[in-house]
Each structure stands twice: as structure tokens, then as C-alpha cells.
Amino acid sequence: MLNDINDPSELRQLTRAQLPQLAQELRSFVIDSVARTGGHLSSNLGTVELTIALHYVFDTPNDRIIWDVGHQTYPHKILTGRREQMGSLRQLGGISGFPRRDESPYDTFGTAHSSTSISAALGMALAARTKGENRHAIAVIGDGSMTAGMAFEALNNGGVHDDINLLVILNDNDMSISPPVGALNRYLARLMSGQFYAKARHVGKSMLPGPVLELAKRLEEHAKGMVVPATMFEEFGFNYIGPIDGHDLDSLIPTLQNLKHLKGPQFLHVVTKKGQGYKLAEADPVLYHGPGKFNPAVGIKPAAASKPTYTQVFGDWLCDMAAQDSKLVGITPAMREGSGMVRFEQLFPERYYDVGIAEQHAVTFAAGMACEGLKPVVAIYSTFLQRAYDQLIHDVALQNLDVTFALDRAGLVGADGATHAGNYDMAYLRCIPNMVVMAASDENECRQMLTTAYQYPGPAAVRYPRGAGIGAAVDTTLEPLPLGKGELRRQGKRIAILAFGSMLAPALTAAEKLDASVANMRFVKPLDVELLLQLASTHEVLVTVEEGAIMGGAGSAVSEALAAAGVVMPILHLGLPDRFIDHGDVAILLAQCGLDGDGIRQSIEQRFGRSAGQAAA
């Protein structure tokens, strides 16, 4: 049945009785597809029935569906003409693991960061009203994404518009399907989403005297309160329906059909289960959240021991430093596993704080703790710190508070693509007064930099890439680096390459063929100006290399320092180009950007001539 569906219009030709079979086929296809390519699994298995119901009831793409985060959209992609492309998922030149407007008209809004869907859907709903167009805007948001302030800002704004076609669906996969989500609740959901109930509420508002109307409203809220978790969403101005079983098509479809005919902001609460239909993922949805390739019949086998990742280096350092200093507290915005804080939570539960998907709150929360003499460490992906930029400046740096930022996933991140790449932190951090910014070139230096940042009595950030490093031996002591000091790693002639962070290894490779000097600069801010001027005075050409945006990045800092010192000399800045870089293997992407050993050498030779190693032009 699935093979005959190439777009939702064909899905809508099926009978209701055929949909459970389609759901079974779709779920099997998702499992087999992710097993071959890797990707997100648990979240996608949880949205199979919901995806079918939405495309069955609504006239997509005329009706807009906005998927929050978007890592649960594989069923959506399969049903909207991309079934045959799933073999290229998250691979170079293939389709994205998240919704993208330039990929399909059914991807009505690009997502990958959380909590943006309600704002976007509200904007689309009001735009339709302004243009006189009759279409629905549906935001599908998970319970985790509802922890972010932006979601509540959108609810607060949306609830005042009673003449728009806006539906917010809370996909609650953290709540168990308890007795209220049964036959009685299914009946009540249909009743409350039906026309009779809606008209009765409208007539009641216009006919009942004030005190009687207020009593009726209180009785209604009390009645709903017996079968729903809260009436908070009603206070925002939304008509709340649910919770209903998100895997029960006989509950989903009639409820959605009823809601389709209601005006004003609607809120549907559905309960789903991560990993639904695949026992291994149901048992451990975290393990199967974003697996690599695996055998569906066997499941994910424990990986063989290999060199530690930067994330593991951070996790070990955090536990070691916490054992030494009782003032240390660890903060994560819902990324415990991703940031390597599982063991820290186990060893120091009273000093571990997961604030939910709320990056802005996480940073200001850390600032408040720092004001009281604690030493907070905020473990956060580079791309997610972007969401708390005002708090970083206004609440931490302006007050020069002692907060350490551990920036995981700095630079390119591979299969997750442009939305998750940490390409901009060096540029957006180094312009902030009081900040110290470091870039780790290997695993041991990462640990040293974390200690340096922690001991610095002000805001400091350490950036490190995703995955494993070069395999450097990690010293288990907690020794800091000299603040603002780099090191000369190779003495050469005429050309000096200034490498920042992960670019040290390819810079050394390029230098061997060019007979160039190589400096491991370590600090983006404060820059080692003494080392810089020494290299400028003894070389004819300077080259900066960074795994970050060239514009405003570490290379720009070097040029600014040279200009301030009145030094004029040839300089070449290498880094990530001024464009968003798609998903693919990191090594291939870096090579395409000219940031592997050969690429660095070729860029230098192209700029300064093929005999650059012998005589700089």
C-alpha cells in the first residue's frame, strides 16, 4: 500500500479501514530506512499515526503543517514524495533529516531547533487572514519543546485572535497512556471538538448574564480538569482538547475532522510513545534516539572501545573538577546525554540541573548562581548558545560573572547539517567584553582549557568539535594553561600558519610540504599578540586557519591586532565560507571547504604561488 502513495492526495483516497495497515507498513519502512542510513528513530516511530491522520484530514500543502524541531518528520517525508530518497537521508547530496522549504512544498517551515513552530504557525495563520485565504496552520510541538519560553510567548500572542485557523498539537511522548486516555476520554474529546459544543459555548457567552456565565465557565473548567492535565492553555485563549491516544487513528481522525471546522485557536493534546512499534526502541528510546546504522533484527550492539570523544573528555573533567571543588554546579538545557553529563548526574545529583529546552533561562540561571558564589558550568552546543546571546551579553558578561561555557559541536557536525553546525561562536563570542574564548586542538588540550576557563574569574568559553579527536593521551591532572598564550609547534621558513583549535592537525600536514612554521594559537581571546608579532617579524606571509566563519572570526582578530600594531604584510584567512554548509561526512565537507591538509596547502600556493614554500610572492 505504501508503495502506491507518492503524495498525500493519494493517501486521502484510502478508506479509514485501510489506514492501520498503512501505518504498519510506514513504521516498518522507517525502521528499515534508519537502519541503513542512521538518523533519528524513536521520535519518528512515535509520529506515524499522527502524520497519517494530519495528511488524511487536512489539505496539505495548502494547509500548512509546521513540525517543531523536525527530527520526527521521516514519516512525513515518506508520504510526501520522498520515499525513494530516504536512502540518501542526511548524506552528502541527499535529503535533510529535518524539514527544509527548498526540499519540498510540504516542508512549509524549516526547523531543527526547538520551540519555533507555534510562532511560525501563528504568523502563517494571520498572513492567511490578511490575504483572505482559507487555509489552516498546524503546529506539531513536543512536550520537551513546550519548556521553552518562545512557545509560551507564541501561545500568549495567538490566544487573542479568535478568527484564525490555528491548531497547536502537543505531541506528549513523556506521559504514560493512563486510564483517562480511553473510551470515555475519546468520547469527551469528540464532544468538545464538535460543532454542537462550540456553538453552545458561543451562545452561552452572548446569552448568559455575567455572573451566570462566570459560573458556567468555572463548571466547564472543573469538568475538563477531571480528564485533562491542566486548563492552563484555556487561559491563553485556546480551546483545549484531549488528551487522546496519538496511536489510535479512530480517535485522531474524527477529532481532527471536528477541529478543522472550528474557528479560533485550538489546542489538541495527543499522547504518543517514543519508539512505538519497535520493542527495542520502546524499551530504550534514548539509545534509539539517533542511532547509526544497525541491524533491525538484532538492534544496536555496544560499540567497541575506541579513543574517547571530546564529549567524554568534558564529562570526565566535569566529574573530576566537581570532586575537587564543591562550588561547581553543572547546567544543561535538556542535553544530558549529548553533552556527556550522565555520570556527573549520577555522582553529584544535588549539583546537576537540567533546565529543559530553555537556553536563555539556562544562561541567566547560571548568572544567578554565580552571583551567589557558586561556579556554574553550562554545557551547551555551540549552535544552541546562539539562542541565548542576549543573556550571554547582558546577564553574564556585562556583570563579569564567573560562568564557564563548554561549547560542544563547535565547527561542522556532519549529518545534522547547517542547523546544528557551530560555525559562528568564535565570531559572536570574541566581540563581547570580559569573555575569554579558547579553541581546543586535541583532547588533552580540551581538558586543560576547561580547567583554565573554570579557574578564570569571569566568563570563559571552550569550544571543541563533535566526535573524537586525534587520539591524544589525556593527562588526568587539572592543570590550566597560561592565559592568552599560544605555542609554536613547528619552525619553518617564510610562511607562518596560525592554527586555531581543530585546524592544528591539518595545518601541520600542510606545513610539512611547504616548510612553514605552525603556531597553535589556543586563545581566540585574549589573542597571543606577542607570539603573533614575533611570527610577523620573522616571516614573509601569515596564514590563519579556523573551523569557523571567516567573517569576524579568529583570523579577523589577527588582522585587527596587526593593524593596531601598525604591521602591514600579506595575510591569508582560511575558514568556513560565507554560506550555510549542508549535511554530509565531516571530512568530506572540510575538504570541500579547503580545510584539510591538501586544501590548506593548495590555498596557500594559489595565493602566493606554487613555490610558496621557497619564496613568498
Question: Which among 140, 150, 167 has a CA at the least distance from the CA of 272?
Answer: 140
To 10 degrees, the CA torsion angle through 591, 596, 597, 600?
A: 80
Give the rounded distance of the alpha carbon of 145 from its chain centre.
Answer: 11
CA gap 9, 279 in Å, rounded: 32
Give the rounded distance of the alpha carbon of 399 from its chain centre.
Answer: 28
Query: How does strand 487-490 pair with strand 166-172?
Result: unpaired
Q: How many DSSP H helices and E strands does the chain contain?
A: 25, 17
Q: Residue 299's beta-bridge partner residues? A: 295
Say whether 387 is catalytic: yes
Rg (CA), the chain: 27
CA gap 567, 536 in Å, rounded: 8
Sequence letter at residue 66: I
CA gap 65, 429 in Å, rounded: 35
Q: Which three cell numbers stand for residue 588?
A: 568530506
Say whether 274 is catalytic: yes
CA gap 406, 380 in Å, rounded: 6
| Catalytic residue chosen out of the listed positions 77, 273, 375, 387 | 387
**Cβ-contact 474, 308 below 8 angstroms:** yes
**Cβ-contact 464, 452 below 8 angstroms:** no
CA gap 64, 329 in Å, rounded: 43
**Cβ-contact 408, 401 below 8 angstroms:** no
CA gap 404, 197 in Å, rounded: 54
CA gap 168, 159 in Å, rounded: 11
Q: Residue 138's beta-bridge partner residues? A: 65, 167
Q: SS3 for 348?
A: coil
| Catalytic residue chosen out of the listed positions 274, 375, 409, 447 | 274
**Cβ-contact 557, 531 below 8 angstroms:** no
| Catalytic residue chosen out of the listed positions 64, 90, 351, 359 | 359
To 10 degrees, the CA torsion angle through 519, 520, 524, 527?
A: -50
CA gap 419, 38 in Å, rounded: 18
Neighbours of 179 (CB within 10 A): 7
Question: Which among 112, 153, 591, 595 has a CA at the least distance from the CA of 383?
Answer: 112
Residues belonging to the active site: 274, 359, 387
